[in-house]
């Protein structure tokens, strides 16, 4: 079946549910009964594909809760750190409608007149979705009630207390075990199959293993290694049997970027699951919405400084790195930096000259390229695929899990992290050298990370941040590593030493002029040697009338994006409260970790 046929079915299912006013939640009041609906494989496929939920173009703007970006958006964790959070005003996330949809299927799928293999395939997908649902609930609340069946008003289980995190996660693993044993490998493009299940198994196991290891408040540290070993096993199985490989044509300047703006990723060797778009098949989405320019999020300077030099050395080991300007920051760097952020000399499709960074209040000055399609053609813009699961993440999971277990070898690095580095022409990561010389810039970010593998774990964490930037993984990483304190640091932007003219395109010709706050920008702007008028900005401290806020105002510094003090309370802010309205309805629910 072609991918567009299956997407049509998924859309049909969504319409069917909508038109029947969420009939799954209303049975038996509705006329749609299990006996009528669950009869054929087509019925099972229609129902399961109605639950299809994958990363879309919004993935590229979902890093706003992290240290990767500055944001002007009303992001939950930022509001928590700067406000007075409680169960009265944090009310999202405690929703169970999707779970009931899943459990309803699991109670009725065996009515269909299909083979056991067919029935188990669809049941496996349902349990895969349930595992993801509960993993997300555990990430947010830790202890949550486990429901294995549908409930109706008046059922006593509706009023049960939360089940312990350990019990819930054991049930999640049982669901994944079933899915791994039953979900088919050969499935329609754009839908999850055996290897997508395996990726989630590895991802969830790594998350839970590292979370238990670094979060003593759970008192589950003794069970962490079992999850890490499961992550290793899942990743090794994908590597040995999945037939995937890193997309590498030998062009380090473009191979990485090709994964995030392609019109067709279905045949890419790195793709395990793809969300496909094609405007000509009534499946479109403008990938550029909110990605480029000054719209809510802008990349942080801390992210820029994380990328290595092209020779594998560390930018932060260089004298004076803290005062490098925009052009200097991009010289001789890991090629992924210039495939992730707009670089000096980059040119937009609609321009006739290199792009000059547009500076604005509350933004960092850096602009995101990853996920941005550099085209003016609407068909191209609306038909770019999104990588949901890619093989690179599997390699990073294996490397990290083995490093945390203390079993990582140089051979493991060569088969994982170093394949990613080879794609962009970076030297290999050496296990002995990394542990002998841990990066102090990275080490100060993770003070709870110690031991003989400290150096290599820091480098693997760097690799995850760089390779997976803007793919909606960073927040989960910070949470599981017990690194919430990093969110207290307000992301800053480009460095300017003060008033003066600055080259932003890398040709040694000035493009912008910074003048003191209060000085009038002339109507007749001075031109550079190319005859192009300079772009003028006034500079001052945060909150002034200046058009650009610098740390020290006219005396220079990094661009300031905010000035509200942020406090991340540990362990409280690693979790969210049960909404107060739910506690009122069910007094057996309890608040954890200091929430009220």
Q: What is the pLDDT of residues 60-95, one digit of tens each?
A: 999 999 999 999 999 999 999 999 999 999 999 999
Q: Are residues 145 and 239 in the same domain?
A: no
User: Where are the strands (E) in 33-159, listed by range?
Assistant: 69-71
**Residues 490 and 313 sit within 8 Å (Cβ to Cβ):** no
Q: For residue 57, which of 260, 255, 225, 208 has the smallest C-alpha distance?
A: 260
Burial of 182 (0-12, 13-18, 19+ CB in 10 A): buried
Question: Is 7 inside any structural domain?
Answer: yes
SS3 (DSSP) at 338: helix
- Number of domain units in the chain: 3
Question: Is 478 inside any structural domain?
Answer: no
Per the listing, tokens 């993984």 go with 473
Q: For residue 65, which of 567, 399, 474 has the smallest C-alpha distance?
A: 474
Q: Are residues 309 and 252 in the same domain?
A: no
Question: Is 431 inside any structural domain?
Answer: yes
Q: Are residues 50 and 25 in the same domain?
A: yes
Percent of the chain scored above 90 by pLDDT?
90
Q: For residue 453, which of 505, 412, 482, 492 has the smallest C-alpha distance?
A: 412
Per the listing, tokens 């069917």 go with 16
* CATH classification of the domain holding 160: 1.25.40.890
Q: Are residues 458 and 525 in the same domain?
A: no
Q: Are residues 416 and 303 in the same domain?
A: no
**In the numeric block, which tokens belong to residue 292?**
């480029």
**In the numeric block, which tokens belong to residue 328?**
């200097």
Q: Are residues 365 and 491 in the same domain?
A: yes
Question: Is 283 inside any structural domain?
Answer: no
Q: Are residues 300 and 241 in the same domain?
A: no
DSSP string, 547-592: SEEBTTGGG-EEEE---------TTGGGS-PPPHHHHHH-TT----
Question: Is 477 inside any structural domain?
Answer: no
User: CB neighbours (10 Å) of residue 516?
Assistant: 13
Q: Are residues 45 and 73 in the same domain?
A: no
Distance CA 173, CA 227 (A): 10
Domain enclosing residue 108, as ranges: 1-61+95-183
* CATH classification of the domain holding 462: 1.25.40
Distance CA 408, CA 401 (A): 8
- pLDDT tens-digit readout, 563-580: 999 999 999 999 999 999
β-strand 548-549 against 557-560: which pairing, if any? unpaired
Q: How far is CA 289 from the centre of its chain?
A: 17
DSSP letter (8 states) at residue 271:
E
**Residues 102 and 126 sit within 8 Å (Cβ to Cβ):** yes
**In the listed set 138, 162, 183, which residue is the last one of a domain according to the structure?**
183
pLDDT of residue 527: 98
Q: Are residues 156 and 213 in the same domain?
A: no
Q: What is the pTM of this model?
A: 0.94
Q: Are residues 506 and 565 in the same domain?
A: yes
Looking at the DSSP bridge assignments, the partners of residue 538 are: 515
**In the listed set 425, 443, 471, which residue is the last one of a domain according to the structure?**
471
pLDDT of residue 20: 32
Q: Are residues 217 and 176 in the same domain?
A: no
Question: Is 285 inside any structural domain?
Answer: no
Question: Is 544 inside any structural domain?
Answer: yes
pLDDT of residue 153: 84
**In the listed set 471, 498, 524, which residue is the last one of a domain according to the structure?**
471
Question: Is 382 inside any structural domain?
Answer: no
Q: For residue 390, which of 244, 270, 266, 243 has the smallest C-alpha distance?
A: 270
**Residues 559 and 497 sit within 8 Å (Cβ to Cβ):** no
User: CB neighbours (10 Å) of residue 96?
Assistant: 16
**Non-local CB neighbours of 362 within 8 Å, separated by 6+ positions:** 70, 72, 549, 561, 562
Edge to edge, the sheet with strand 535-540 lists 500-502, 512-516, 535-540, 548-549
β-strand 512-516 against 500-502: which pairing, if any? antiparallel
For the chain, which ranges sit under pLDDT 70? 1-32
Q: Are residues 259 and 110 in the same domain?
A: no
**Non-local CB neighbours of 303 within 8 Å, separated by 6+ positions:** 67, 68, 69, 465, 469
In which element (H, E) is residue 221 found?
A: none
pLDDT of residue 349: 95
**In the numeric block, which tokens belong to residue 479?**
């949470």
């Amino acid at each position: 079946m072609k991918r567009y046929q299956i997407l049509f079915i998924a859309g049909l299912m969504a319409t069917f549910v909508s038109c029947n006013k969420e009939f799954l939640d209303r049975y038996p009041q509705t006329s749609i009964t299990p006996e009528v609906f669950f009869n054929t494989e087509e019925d099972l496929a229609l129902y399961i594909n109605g639950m299809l939920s994958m990363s879309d173009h919004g993935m590229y703007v979902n890093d706003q809760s992290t240290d990767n970006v500055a944001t002007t958006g009303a992001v939950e964790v930022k509001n928590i750190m700067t406000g007075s959070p409680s169960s009265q005003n944090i009310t999202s996330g405690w929703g169970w409608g999707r779970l009931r949809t899943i459990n309803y299927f699991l109670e009725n799928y065996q009515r269909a007149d299909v083979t056991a293999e067919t029935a188990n395939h669809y049941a496996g997908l349902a349990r895969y979705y349930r595992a993801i649902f509960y993993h997300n609930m555990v990430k947010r609340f830790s202890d949550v009630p486990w429901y294995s069946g549908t409930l109706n008003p008046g059922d006593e289980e509706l009023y049960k207390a939360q089940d312990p995190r350990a019990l819930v996660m054991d049930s999640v693993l049982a669901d994944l075990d079933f899915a791994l044993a039953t979900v088919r490998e050969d499935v329609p493009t754009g839908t999850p199959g055996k290897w997508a299940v395996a990726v989630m198994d590895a991802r969830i196991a790594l998350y839970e293993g590292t979370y238990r290891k670094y979060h003593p408040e759970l008192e589950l540290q003794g069970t962490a290694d079992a999850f890490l070993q499961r992550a290793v096993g899942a990743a090794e199985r994908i590597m040995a049997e999945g037939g995937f490989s890193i997309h590498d044509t030998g062009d380090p300047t473009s191979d990485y970027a090709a994964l995030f703006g392609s019109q067709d990723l279905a045949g890419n060797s790195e793709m395990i699951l793809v969300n496909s778009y094609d405007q000509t098949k009534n499946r479109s989405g403008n990938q550029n919405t909110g990605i480029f320019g000054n719209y809510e999020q802008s990349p942080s300077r801390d992210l820029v400084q994380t990328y290595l030099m092209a020779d594998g050395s560390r930018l932060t080991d260089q004298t004076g790195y803290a005062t490098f300007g925009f052009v200097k920051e991009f010289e001789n760097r890991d090629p992924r930096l210039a495939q992730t952020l707009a670089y000096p000399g980059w040119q937009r499709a609609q321009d006739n000259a290199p792009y000059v960074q547009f500076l604005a209040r509350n933004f960092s000055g850096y602009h995101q390229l990853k996920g941005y399609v550099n085209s003016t053609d609407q068909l191209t813009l609306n038909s770019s695929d999104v990588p949901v699961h890619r093989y690179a993440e599997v390699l990073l999971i294996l490397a990290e899990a083995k490093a945390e277990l203390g079993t990582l070898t140089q051979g493991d690095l060569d088969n994982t992290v170093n394949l990613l580095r080879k794609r962009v022409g970076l030297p290999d990561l050496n296990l002995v050298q990394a542990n002998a010389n841990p990066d102090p810039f990275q080490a100060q970010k993770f003070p709870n990370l110690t031991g003989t593998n400290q150096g290599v774990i820091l480098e693997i964490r760097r690799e995850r941040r760089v390779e997976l930037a803007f793919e909606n993984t960073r927040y989960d990483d910070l949470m599981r590593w017990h690194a919430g304190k990093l969110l207290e640091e307000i992301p800053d932007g480009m460095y300017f030493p003060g008033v003066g003219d600055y080259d932003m395109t890398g040709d040694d010709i000035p493009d912008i002029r910074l003048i003191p706050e209060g000085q009038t920008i002339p109507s007749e702007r001075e031109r550079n040697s190319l005859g192009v008028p300079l772009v003028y900005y006034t500079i001052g401290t945060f909150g002034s009338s200046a058009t650009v806020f610098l740390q020290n105002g006219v005396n220079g510094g990094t661009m300031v994006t905010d000035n509200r003090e942020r406090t991340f309370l540990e362990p409280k802010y690693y979790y969210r409260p049960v909404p107060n309205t739910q506690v009122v309805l069910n007094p057996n629910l309890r608040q954890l970790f200091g929430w009220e």
